[in-house]
Chain A
Amino acid sequence: MTAPAPAPRRLVVAVDGSAASLAALAAAVAVALRTGARVEAVFAEDPDLLALAGAPAARVVAERTAASSRVDPAAMARAVAALADRVGAAVAQAAARARVPCAHRVVRARPAEALDATLQADDWVVLGRVGHSEAFGARLGSTASLLATQGRHVVMLVGRGEVVATPVAVLDDGSEGAARAVAAARAVAGADGGRLVVLRPVAVAVGEGAGPVAARTLVAALDAARVHGARLLVVPAGSAAGQEDRLADAPCAVLLVP
């Protein structure tokens, strides 16, 4: 795998209309402002939703009124299109407000597939920590989990209501990706580089395996980010490998750098 550039040229944002995905859009714009990258928002028209609408036994229960009805495929198509439009409007508004070049594309595919089709090697991908599955108690969405696990791209996970800004904390644990993580953190911190907090583990207990050490390091980094009031924690992807679930408890947005 090619090492990613310390500063992104393009930020691909997965936007599904959920609160976290809109926070991810705002975060992408904020990073773009600091790094000069452009933003490309991707809205996935999930074919499963359209298929579900066509299912003969399918039922839908409205979230606010609890009214139940059979699913009308045409209504579902219109609702998805309307959601895509709303996302497009949000992207345009964010672009205009920040004066950042933003594109918006709608891809008919499952979210992960839509991102996969869009992403290029040096792209950073920005997405909500959890999307619509939050309603069922999920802390880390399936797409976020997949991308974090894959480790192919720089991935930024943003929670509902989180804003990316300084101070930026970065975990420099001496791992293979640590240098790239620090470089990425500096890129994001931008002119406020002075507000970059570098977190270095002070000791490693002898006799412990790599897994427990990495877990303790990640947990310590999350705690340190909370203490420092960091608005973004940059972590080498390798340091979070296998512990993606812990990222659900991050006090701020997390940038995983492979």
Chain B
Amino acid sequence: MTVPSPLPPASLRPRCDPASLPFSTTAEVAPLADPLGQARALEALAFGTGIRRDGFHLFVMGSNEAGRRRLVAGALAARAAREPVPPDLCYVRDFDDARHPRVLRLPAGRGRAFQRDVDAMLDDLAAAIPAALEGDEHRARLRAVEEEVREEHEKAMAALREKAQARGITLVRTPLGFALAPLRDGHVMPTEVFEALPAEDKARIEAAIEALQEELREIVTAMPRLEKALRERVRALARETTEAAVAREVDETAARWADEPAAKAHLLAVRADVVADPSPFLRPAESKESPPLFEEASDGAVPGGPRRRYRVHVVVDRAGERGAPVVEEPHPSHPNLVGRVEYLAKMGALVTDFDLLRAGALQRADGGYLVLEARALLTQPWAWEALKQSLRARCVRTESLGQTLGLLHTVTLEPEAAPLATKVVLTGEREVFRLLDAYDPDFRALFKVVVDLDEDLPRDGDGPLAYARFVAGVVVEEGLSPFDRGAVAAVVESGARWAGDAARLSARTEDLADLLREADWFAREAGAATVGAAHVAAAVAARERRLGRVRERLLEETLSGTLLVETTGRRVGTVNGLAVLDAGRFAFGRPARISARVRLGKGDVVDLEREVDLGGPVHSKGVLILSAFLGARFGADGPLAFHGTLAFEQSYGPVEGDSASCAELVALLSALADLPVRQDLAITGSVDQHGAVQAVGGVSEKLEGFFDLCSARGLSGTQGALLPASNVRHLALRDDVVEAAAAGRFSVHAVATVDEAVELLTGVPAGVRGPDGTWTEGSVNARVAARLAAFEQRRREAARDDRRAAGKDGA
């Protein structure tokens, strides 16, 4: 087997040749019109925003929140600008049921105009109605009616009194009522005189009083009817007078709104209500008493006083807007979504009315687009449910959470639901999307359009040029200094490094824009008119320096010998593995010592990390895979009589991933073969059951971590690192690593099988199995097989000894 040669420097960091860029500086480059590398997402956005069918709302997913928002905002703004402005949303009182304010929709910008017209009309009514009802004419007519009714009653009483007097009977009003009594000489007849009268006279008097009493009762009985008739006539008179005053003002306003049926209908309703009860326009003393709680919400606090019942409450005013609305609600709580009913404290009670309704994001986004961050939405109580209900019903019902949950038992408003024709754009991470898709059946029905943001774009073809145009866009947008072609090439190489793939470029535009801003700062500090490659490199280095405290501390601990990692010599059962640590915004590699020990046993390999619950499931799987490899390669003819243990030395935290499984296998093979492993080499890669080495993540950072340690101790020229062959295309190493490789002071080897790795690391051929099942003599595999055979022999001897001992005991 041929041991892989070190990779050429060109493979370690594919360069972006500045000369390949067709410009001197970005000042000559047209800025990118569309978001970088998001053609698929833009196509999905165009489809999702264009289709007007139920349930075709959008979920935009990607790992970068700022990138999602930027992409969505840009796409929606362009589309919304071409669409019509939706109507204003107003609420007016339902005069038949104050608890249910009615929706009134008017063309954009006309809501306020209607409100002003109605207010002016109310002012006119406030002058016209009292003038009419308190004017001489109405008063005279009122008095005439009252006089007429009163006279009718008084005439009847006067006639009865005359009739009584003619019969010698007095009729007077007393505190007990109207009294009838016989008269004598102008005064009430004394008892003794009455008693002295002849019986027939007394009977005649009593009969006369009896008859008069009946007539009196009839008159008195008729009085309530007369009073009722009087009230009705007074009301009719007031209605007639009010009607004349109101009709003039209302009809004039209604004529101006003849082209808006809803507005006209409201005006006619106002007219009917005012005619039925003009008291809100009269002086307080003449107003009706104790109106319902709604109506009196806050006459003192809200302009309009008692006349507020007729006002127009503009909930969403679109005056001056252009295009359809694009509403982004950063705090999508339940009330911020569906709106709320506010209350005012009045005399110790909370009161409300239709003009205390406040619009939520849904109402504001009606006819346009509503952008919500999924995680923020889902963490707000009942907000997600409210959104789904509104989208299903295609209307927004403004109600408090208390109402929704049935916890509010006081009287409150139940406004008419406002029609809803908005396109909702949810943005979020892929994990959130997957959770919603898996656990909420409504989600799939409502959010049918998935916009999946690409995290990177191909480097070949127009990739670098697209980067240049992106840079040009940021330069123009943020007033940065132009970037020369070298700087752009450096940005492209950084993009490749962030993509973790030399053949691709990162599409995380926010990170890229930050790099541009930082490079611009370095250029300005240096007094440069344009940003060059050195400024980009300085920005990258400064960023790593700023974030590199943990990396430096670990390196110091390793150099001081606190953390044991050898970079020279050889050691049996010990391999330098490579790990990646994620310190938030910065990931870096560090070497880790992986050790293996073997002894006689039953063929099991123990992962010590797993034993103490520090090993994650993927790591454990890796260990089980290498056990399976060993079993298949060396235990086909019998059991493996060994017990192996694997450990990440000086690791005190969780270990996850299988990228060390190849290193672990090499350590085990080294221990079994009793062959020392080179400590000036490190290895990363996972291994399958057949011994093939598989790609892992973060190879550049891992290799750089080992390079940094070697470099700090002084590069010997033999040091290097092994990585899976399938990872070579992901390499985007730092310049200093590439330079060391070019100078032959550090090497990078790509391995495809564990045999290649073990051969490189031990310096001993791995060996091949011959037709007779034996391995190449002196090879690593032959040594392993011999050691395992020795273990098996020892196991048999031990078993025999045990049986003998048992026989003796039995005898």
1/0 per residue, CB under 8 A from A, across B171-215: the answer is 111111111111000011111001100000010011001100100
Residue among A17, A52, A54 making CB contact with B172, cutoff 8 Å: A52
B151 CB within 8 Å of chain A: yes
Instruction: Give the distance in Å from the alpha carbon of A83 to the alpha carbon of B173 in the complex.
Output: 13
A55 CB within 8 Å of chain B: yes
B157 CB within 8 Å of chain A: yes
Instruction: Give the distance in Å from the alpha carbon of A71 to the alpha carbon of B191 in the complex.
Output: 13
Residues of chain B with a CB closer than 8 A to A1's CB: none
Does the CB pair B195–A56 fall under 8 Å? yes
Binds B, one of A72-80, A111-119, A150-158: A72-80
A89 CB within 8 Å of chain B: no
Residue among A61, A75, A83 making CB contact with B213, cutoff 8 Å: A61
A210 CB within 8 Å of chain B: no
1/0 per residue, CB under 8 A from B, across A11-43: the answer is 000000100000000000000000000000000
Report which residue of B151, B179, B194, B210 has the largest number of chain A beta carbons within 10 angstroms of its beta carbon: B179
Does the CB pair B209–A62 fall under 8 Å? no
Chain A, Cβ-Cβ closest to B220: A66
Residues of chain A with a CB closer than 8 A to B800's CB: none
B158 CB within 8 Å of chain A: yes
Instruction: Give the distance in Å from the alpha carbon of A51 to the alpha carbon of B184 in the complex.
Output: 12
Instruction: Give the distance in Å from the alpha carbon of A136 to the alpha carbon of B182 in the complex.
Output: 18
Does the CB pair A55–B158 fall under 8 Å? no
Instruction: Give the distance in Å from the alpha carbon of A53 to the alpha carbon of B202 in the complex.
Output: 17
A204 CB within 8 Å of chain B: no
Could you tell me the dominant secondary structure of chain A's interface residues? helix
B264 CB within 8 Å of chain A: no
B161 CB within 8 Å of chain A: yes
B residues 577-635 with Cβ under 8 Å of A?
none
Does the CB pair A61–B178 fall under 8 Å? yes
Chain A, Cβ-Cβ closest to B155: A137
Chain A, Cβ-Cβ closest to B203: A57
Instruction: Give the distance in Å from the alpha carbon of A48 to the alpha carbon of B189 in the complex.
Output: 10
Does the CB pair B173–A135 fall under 8 Å? yes
B217 CB within 8 Å of chain A: yes
Does the CB pair A52–B178 fall under 8 Å? no
Residues of chain A with a CB closer than 8 A to B290's CB: none
A132 CB within 8 Å of chain B: yes
B420 CB within 8 Å of chain A: no
Known: A71-B179, A136-B154, A136-B161. A57 touches B209 (CB 8 A): yes
Does the CB pair B188–A55 fall under 8 Å? yes
Known: A60-B179, A61-B216, A136-B157. A52 touches B174 (CB 8 A): yes
Chain B, Cβ-Cβ closest to A68: B213
Does the CB pair A56–B177 fall under 8 Å? no
Residues of chain B with a CB closer than 8 A to A58's CB: 179-182, 188, 209
* Number of interface residues, chain A, beta carbon within 8 A: 31
Instruction: Give the distance in Å from the alpha carbon of A137 to the alpha carbon of B711 in the complex.
Output: 125
Residue among B173, B177, B189 making CB contact with A55, cutoff 8 Å: B189
Instruction: Give the distance in Å from the alpha carbon of A135 to the alpha carbon of B151 in the complex.
Output: 10
B20 CB within 8 Å of chain A: no
Does the CB pair A59–B213 fall under 8 Å? yes
A208 CB within 8 Å of chain B: no
Instruction: Give the distance in Å from the alpha carbon of A104 to the alpha carbon of B189 in the complex.
Output: 31
Residues of chain A with a CB closer than 8 A to B188's CB: 48, 51-52, 55, 58
User: Total A-B pairs in contact (CB under 8 Å)?
Assistant: 109
Report which residue of A55, A60, A76 has the largest number of chain B beta carbons within 10 angstroms of its beta carbon: A55
Does the CB pair A137–B157 fall under 8 Å? yes
Residues of chain B with a CB closer than 8 A to A49's CB: 172, 174-175, 179
Known: A57-B182, A137-B151. A79 touches B176 (CB 8 A): yes
Residue among A51, A63, A80 making CB contact with B190, cutoff 8 Å: A51
A133 CB within 8 Å of chain B: yes
Minimal beta-carbon separation of B152 from chain A (angstroms):
10
Chain A, Cβ-Cβ closest to B195: A56
Minimal beta-carbon separation of A244 from chain B (angstroms):
19
Residue among B175, B177, B187, B221 making CB contact with A80, cutoff 8 Å: B175
Does the CB pair A62–B176 fall under 8 Å? yes
Chain A, Cβ-Cβ closest to B206: A57
B170 CB within 8 Å of chain A: yes
A82 CB within 8 Å of chain B: yes
Does the CB pair A52–B170 fall under 8 Å? yes
Minimal beta-carbon separation of B678 from chain A (angstroms):
112
Minimal beta-carbon separation of A226 from chain B (angstroms):
10
Residues of chain A with a CB closer than 8 A to B170's CB: 52
Minimal beta-carbon separation of B207 from chain A (angstroms):
10
Instruction: Give the distance in Å from the alpha carbon of A193 to the alpha carbon of B223 in the complex.
Output: 44
Instruction: Give the distance in Å from the alpha carbon of A201 to the alpha carbon of B31 in the complex.
Output: 98
Residues of chain A with a CB closer than 8 A to B216's CB: 61, 68
Chain A, Cβ-Cβ closest to B187: A48
Residue among B157, B176, B205, B206 making CB contact with A76, cutoff 8 Å: B176
Minimal beta-carbon separation of B155 from chain A (angstroms):
6
Does the CB pair B177–A83 fall under 8 Å? no
Minimal beta-carbon separation of A231 from chain B (angstroms):
16
Instruction: Give the distance in Å from the alpha carbon of A83 to the alpha carbon of B176 in the complex.
Output: 10
Does the CB pair B181–A52 fall under 8 Å? yes
Does the CB pair A52–B151 fall under 8 Å? no
Does the CB pair A54–B173 fall under 8 Å? no
Does the CB pair B205–A57 fall under 8 Å? yes
Chain B, Cβ-Cβ closest to A139: B154
Instruction: Give the distance in Å from the alpha carbon of A12 to the alpha carbon of B596 in the complex.
Output: 124
Residues of chain B with a CB closer than 8 A to A48's CB: 172, 187-188
Instruction: Give the distance in Å from the alpha carbon of A136 to the alpha carbon of B171 in the complex.
Output: 9
Instruction: Give the distance in Å from the alpha carbon of A58 to the alpha carbon of B209 in the complex.
Output: 8
Residues of chain B with a CB closer than 8 A to A59's CB: 179-181, 209-210, 213
1/0 per residue, CB under 8 A from A, across B37-75: the answer is 000000000000000000000000000000000000000
Does the CB pair B158–A136 fall under 8 Å? yes
Residues of chain B with a CB closer than 8 A to A83's CB: 175
1/0 per residue, CB under 8 A from B, across A130-152: the answer is 00111111000000000000000
Instruction: Give the distance in Å from the alpha carbon of A132 to the alpha carbon of B216 in the complex.
Output: 16
Minimal beta-carbon separation of A71 from chain B (angstroms):
6
Residue among B154, B187, B190, B205 making CB contact with A137, cutoff 8 Å: B154
The 12 sampled A-B contact pairs (Cβ below 8 Å) are A49-B174, A51-B190, A52-B172, A52-B179, A54-B191, A55-B182, A57-B205, A58-B180, A60-B180, A61-B177, A63-B223, A135-B173
Given contacts A52-B172, A61-B179, A137-B155, 7 further A-B contacts (CB under 8 A): A57-B181, A59-B179, A60-B179, A61-B177, A61-B213, A76-B174, A82-B175
> Which 7 pairs from chain A and chain B are nearest by CB?
A137-B154, A79-B175, A58-B181, A132-B173, A66-B220, A137-B158, A55-B181
B interface residues (Cβ-Cβ under 8 A, vs A): 151, 154-155, 157-158, 161, 170-182, 187-191, 194-195, 202, 205-206, 209-210, 213, 216-217, 220-221, 223
